[in-house]
Amino acid sequence: MTDLQIGLFSIVGILFLIYAGMHVAIALTLLSLLGVWLIKDNWTIASKLLALAASDSISGYIFGVVPLFVLMGMLISVSGIGKDTFDVANRLFKGIRGGLGISTVAANAVFAAVTGISIASAAVFTKVAVPEMIRLGHKPRFAVGVVTGSSVLGMLIPPSLLLILFGVLTETSIGDLFKAGILPGILLSVAYSGLILLMAYRFPNYVGQLTDESDGNPTDQMTLGQAIWKLTPIALLVALVLGGIYAGWFTPTESGAVGALGALLLTLGKRQLTWAKLWQVLTETGHVSVSILFLLIAANIYGRMLALSGITGFIATWISESGLGLYAILAIYLVIVLLMGTILDSTSIMMIIVPLMYPIMHGMGVNFVWFGLVTVIAIEVGLITPPLGIAAFVVKSTLDDQSITLNDVFAGAFPYVLIMILVLVLVVIFPQISLVLVR
């Protein structure tokens, strides 16, 4: 068996093992180890490569950004900021048909600017927004669909964990990736709001009633000063974290540390952090960080095995000889990513596909800031598509209303999948949407 055949069989083997239920990181590590063993015909070399990858691949200073931003997001999710943001947005868009849905999108966009984790957004706004929408006559499918669809903003609007991982994998500036995510995130938020307005006027019974001053909602009496007071903490944290990166005061890793400290002080100031919640935050931060770093180790050894097999060079040569242009290759790549999104989580997709495509795209002179945004948007579609759709499962598991089924969640989120694909196409066709803020 040639080295190239070993590389090809490893890709097929990974897909088979994942379908069979094996954890992605274990499948990557196992087949990479076997692949190097077969290529070098030496078990010692293969085992030492695994040990080297485990010790070196996440030892850099930059990797501290992962647990720090995860910790910041977890602290914010228990601080009550999500509810405050939703209350202010609800007051702002009151009187507009579909205003409660737009409020959810707006609150998710603001919340995303300090969490970077879509799952946190899905969990928080399922508790905050869904009961309020159902109370005011919105159909359950609409309510859960808005929350599920807008939760993906957490991985697009900076700081984004997926953008951090892409930057680490491709050695692309994380600060530039954060800047590039701002306009696509705003565009997606505006497109979602437009969809909600369209549904509100086209299917008024589906979206629900207009609220009025007599519905008893506490936000009705919210003054401008109260609204500013509720938004001030999150605005300060956004300015501290993102402003520090853009102004050059902090590196992304340092901004993660500053953000985590700010989130801790904010949560303590709001008196939301008990010892039990602190233990839960630290435990979940550890679980999420370890799973991501384990995947990074596995992706590192997988990339080395692919390089040894020569498969990346073979694919690059085949592409150059096929006469396919960049957009044709990109279209194939995006279709593969969208299909992978139906069976894998976002992080796993990135760990599998990016090491394979990086040499090919690098050889074509692609701007990796733009390519990173395109990749993240495509991957995020998978968060709300069946059968895996992690965000949909989080919404379902967080719901207090058991009459709302998982099918209702997926059906409600489907229009937002179409909007995401539309925004993805726009970012592909018009790269300046993502690059205009990048120097």
SS3 2: coil
Query: What is the residue type of 267?
Result: T
Kindly give the interhelix angle for 390-398 and 118-135, rounded to the nearest 10 degrees. 50
Helix (H), strand (E) at residue 406: helix 406-429
The Cα 2–Cα 279 span in angstroms is 51
Q: 375 and 337 in contact (C-beta within 8 Å)? A: yes
User: How many domains, in total, are found in the chain?
Assistant: 1
The Cα 240–Cα 114 span in angstroms is 10
Confirm whether pTM is higher than 0.85. Answer: no
Q: Look-up: residue for tokens 């903490």?
A: 233
SS3 266: helix
The Cα 205–Cα 203 span in angstroms is 6
Q: Closest Cα to residue 142, out of 79, 187, 97? A: 97
Quick one: pLDDT at residue 213? 44
Q: What does the block give as tokens for 391?
A: 């965000």
The Cα 438–Cα 387 span in angstroms is 36
The Cα 40–Cα 49 span in angstroms is 11
Q: 47 and 318 in contact (C-beta within 8 Å)? A: no
CB atoms within 10 A of CB 148: 31
Q: Per the omega criterion (within 30 degrees of 0), is the bond before 184 cis? A: no
Q: Look-up: residue for tokens 């010892």?
A: 275
For the chain, what is the largest distance between any 2 Cα atoms, rounded to a whole number of angstroms? Answer: 77
The Cα 99–Cα 219 span in angstroms is 13
Domain hosting residue 68, numbered range: 3-435
List, run by run, the mean pLDDT of 10-residue segments along the chain (439 residues).
Answer: 82 80 81 86 81 71 77 79 78 77 86 74 81 83 90 84 87 89 93 92 74 51 74 81 79 83 86 85 84 77 79 73 82 86 77 82 89 93 79 81 85 93 94 88
The Cα 30–Cα 231 span in angstroms is 48
CB atoms within 10 A of CB 361: 20
Q: What does the block give as tokens for 336?
A: 């593969």
SS3 content of the chain, % helix, strand, coil (to 5): 80, 0, 20
User: What is the DSSP code string of 134-194?
Assistant: HHTT--HHHHHHHHHHHHGGGGTSSS-HHHHHHHHHHT--HHHHHHHHHHHHHHHHHHHHH
Q: Give the torsion through C-alpha atoms of 282, 287, 289, 294, to 10 deg.
A: 150
Quick one: pLDDT at residue 218? 53
How many Cα atoms occupy the beta-carbon half-sphere of 424 within 13 Å?
23
Rounded to 5 degrees, what are φ and ψ at 73?
Answer: -65, -40
Quick one: pLDDT at residue 57? 67
